[in-house]
């Protein structure tokens, strides 16, 4: 059984992700982490989905069955689990969330004792244990070796302090009006608290989770809705989080959504000017617009690209000795502050940038113009390896000679091929995409 995808284990709760599967997965993960255990403790948090109760209890059963003590902390952002796992000296941390997906889905993300997401090799090792019935049976414990669980409700303060400490001490948010969309998700308590304690006038929306309304027509997936509220209340900025608060979308004072690549560019240049950028570089994914690369280059900053997924961004950041990177979708990583994408930590850096610049959000977060980019998803009957498709190189050669960047890849979860073309001349990009679409219609 294939379990892990691009970001942990994810699927429809009660179907692919049912109680039995989760219990087995917890046992397999516990057996894996036990090999290097120092504390025999694992931290478990979740977002606000109703199915989180089922999955949490199954995880506790599986982990205690192989000897682990479990600390349950209830609804908290994904980055909080990463931080608290290391802070509380746990062998591992587990977050129950399907991030920006609708409530019907749920997922399980694992963190090691340093608060880092597991790499592919670790995930494969857990999956191998999961599929080894004899090993799973033999590794169960009995008697006094069976683990225990306890719920702790006061750890929220630790995370709030850690996030607030990332905000410059010479600044505060007094006089700044902020609209915060919590997506009826995991940050519905911590988000407003952090901003209010720093002095902001906060208008909070979508902070009443009922187990089913997470991400529903709100949050980072639908930031246009709070654009109206920003204009109505004449706010300085809008902040839209997703269900587990690892993603941030910014809305400027005009009610316009700030492009993710422009946000990365503005933040990277800000860190560079503040002498806080390490490695003289930034990491973004293969999806980011080349205009970002050219903008950073004009500032003497090198852009490195990773595969799609914030854990891949972080891998390249570590490899290159860089402390800043992100995805255009809103996952932004300040590795000096957070172990993974953290919407609230990122928001504080955006607010610091605006305050230090003395400009409005629409000015400071619009540092360059994007190049025309077209993304097309096409259904396919078969995922033929790209290197085996005859004629593809011949089609791409004249496209590349026009200075157009191409990215062609299959979806990891659907029978689709994703075509991305980008260049300075809009008509060239449009014509090239029509050529490419016609080619793939014939061969796939």
Q: What is the pLDDT along the chain (444 residues), one digit of tens a residue?
A: 689 987 899 999 999 999 999 999 999 999 999 999 999 999 999 999 999 999 999 999 999 999 999 999 999 999 999 999 999 999 999 999 999 999 999 999 999 999 999 999 999 999 999 999 999 999 999 999 999 999 998 899 999 999 999 999 999 999 999 999 999 999 999 999 999 999 999 999 999 999 999 999 999 999 999 999 999 999 999 999 999 999 999 999 999 999 999 999 999 999 999 999 999 999 999 999 999 999 999 999 999 999 988 889 999 999 999 999 999 999 999 999 988 899 999 999 999 999 999 999 999 999 999 999 999 999 988 899 999 999 999 999 999 999 999 999 988 667 899 999 999 999 999 999 999 999 999 888
Taking the C-alpha atoms of residue 211 and residue 220, their distance in angstroms, rounded to an integer, is 18
pLDDT score for 414: 75
pLDDT score for 7: 84
User: The pTM is what?
Assistant: 0.91
Taking the C-alpha atoms of residue 279 and residue 301, their distance in angstroms, rounded to an integer, is 9
Helix (H) / strand (E) element for 394: namely: helix 392-401
Taking the C-alpha atoms of residue 71 and residue 69, their distance in angstroms, rounded to an integer, is 7
DSSP for 118-164? Answer: P-HHHHHHHHHHHT-HHHHHHT---GGGS--EEE---THHHHHHHHH
Is residue 189 within 8 A of residue 154, CB to CB? The reply is no
Taking the C-alpha atoms of residue 237 and residue 198, their distance in angstroms, rounded to an integer, is 15
Is residue 45 within 8 A of residue 92, CB to CB? The reply is no
**Nearest-CA neighbor of 344 among 213, 204, 187, 152?**
187
Helix (H) / strand (E) element for 439: namely: helix 426-443
**Catalytic annotation, residues:** 99
């Amino acid at each position: 059984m294939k379990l892990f995808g691009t970001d942990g284990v994810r699927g429809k709760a009660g179907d692919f992700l049912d109680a039995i599967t989760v219990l087995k997965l917890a046992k397999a993960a516990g057996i894996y982490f036990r090999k290097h255990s120092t504390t025999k403790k694992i931290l478990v948090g979740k977002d606000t989905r109703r199915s989180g109760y089922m999955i949490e209890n199954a995880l506790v059963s599986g982990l205690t069955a192989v000897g682990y003590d479990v600390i349950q902390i209830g609804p908290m952002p994904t980055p909080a689990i990463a931080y608290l796992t290391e802070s509380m000296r746990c062998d591992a941390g587990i977050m129950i969330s399907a991030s920006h997906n609708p409530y019907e889905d749920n997922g399980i993300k694992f963190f090691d004792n340093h608060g880092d997401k597991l790499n592919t090799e670790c995930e494969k090792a857990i999956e191998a244990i999961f599929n080894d019935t004899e090993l799973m049976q033999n590794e169960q414990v009995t008697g006094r070796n069976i683990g225990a669980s306890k719920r702790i409700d006061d750890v929220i303060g630790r995370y709030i302090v850690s996030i607030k400490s990332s905000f410059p001490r010479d600044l505060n948010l007094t006089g700044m009006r902020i609209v915060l969309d919590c997506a009826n998700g995991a940050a519905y308590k911590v988000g407003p608290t952090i901003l209010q304690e720093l002095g902001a006038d906060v208008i909070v929306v979508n902070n009443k989770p009922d187990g089913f309304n997470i991400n529903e027509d709100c949050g980072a997936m639908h930031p246009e809705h709070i654009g109206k509220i920003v204009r109505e209340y004449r706010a300085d900025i809008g902040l839209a989080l997703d269900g587990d608060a690892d993603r941030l979308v910014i809305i400027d004072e005009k009610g316009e959504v700030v492009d993710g690549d422009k946000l990365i560019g503005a933040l990277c240049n800000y860190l560079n000017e503040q002498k806080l950028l390490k490695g003289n570089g930034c990491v973004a994914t293969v999806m980011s617009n080349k205009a970002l690369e050219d903008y950073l280059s004009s500032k003497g900053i090198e852009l490195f690209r990773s595969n799609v997924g914030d854990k891949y961004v972080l891998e390249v950041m570590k490899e290159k000795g860089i402390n800043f990177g992100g995805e255009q979708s809103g996952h932004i990583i300040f590795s000096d502050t957070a172990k993974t994408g953290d919407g609230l930590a990122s928001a504080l850096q955006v607010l610091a940038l605006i305050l230090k610049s003395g400009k409005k959000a629409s000015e400071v977060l619009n540092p360059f113009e994007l190049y025309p980019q077209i993304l097309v998803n096409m259904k396919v009957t078969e995922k033929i390896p790209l290197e085996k498709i005859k004629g593809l190189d011949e089609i791409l050669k004249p496209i590349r000679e026009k200075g157009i960047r191409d990215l062609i890849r299959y979806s990891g979860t659907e029978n689709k091929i994703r075509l991305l073309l980008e260049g300075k001349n809009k008509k060239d990009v449009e014509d090239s995409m029509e050529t490419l679409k016609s080619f793939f219609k014939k061969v796939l």
